[in-house]
Amino acid sequence: MLDLRTFSKLGTRFLRPPDHLQRTLGGIRGLLFDWDGVFNDGWKDADGGSPFSEVDSMGVNLLRFGMWLANKQLPVCAVITGQHNPQAQRFAEREHLHAIYMGFTHKMDALERFRSDHGCDDKQVAFFFDDVLDLPLARRCGMRILVHQPASPLFENFVSARLDADLLTHLNGGRHGLREACELLLGLMGRYEEVVEHRLRYSDMYKAYLADRNAVPTEVVKNPR
């Protein structure tokens, strides 16, 4: 069972009660990730590229596996980025996410596409985000995880006061706040130890999940505008 003190001591903030989050997680069937500020610290190169960390990649993989175990099917997963980012595309294709939406500065357009393509109701989607441009989408989703940004205390206060997020990580995107969030969700699901044990043994169950995951073709959607 999850000992919430582990995360409370770290500094994770629960903006809604843990039992509410557990109930909400039971209905989540899709994972939607902003890129800059979530998978990294938000810095971009001249071509709009920005990296990812294997620490966060493993967290996303373990969370997908936990949801596969819980629901007997893969969660639908996608990344949204406002840039045409080759590193984000490489990650999405390597990890066999269902889609990556690039060039969507108005992220609601990407949500509409994600929903129509994959049959997810808004309330079945968990969204991982970090900044102002993400907020309209966050307000539509069933679970909202805000990745901490030390330079944005007023924005975090704004989100917290309006309950526009359910969780606020202690760590930022450059220090693996996404991994923190993934481990917390697995703990709330009561699946963390089971997931890790299967992965350590490379069990038949994990291999079945991996076969399902690796059969997913990644749709690359580039906004022409």
The pLDDT, as a whole number, for residue 9 is 87
Structure tokens at 174: 């450059």
β-strand partners of 192: none
pTM of the model: 0.96
Instruction: Name the stretches of the chain with pLDDT < 50.
Output: none
Q: What values do phi and psi take at 52, rounded to 5?
A: -135, 165
What whole-number distance in Å separates Cα of residue 139 and Cα of residue 144? 8
Position of tokens 């899709």? Answer: 30
pLDDT digits (tens, 9 = 90+) for 46-69: 777 899 999 999 999 999 999 999
The confidence score (pLDDT) of residue 225 equals: 64
Give the homologous superfamily in CATH for domain 4-216: HAD superfamily/HAD-like (3.40.50.1000)
Q: Domain coordinates of the chain in residue numbers?
A: 4-216
CA 179/CA 185 separation, integer angstroms: 10
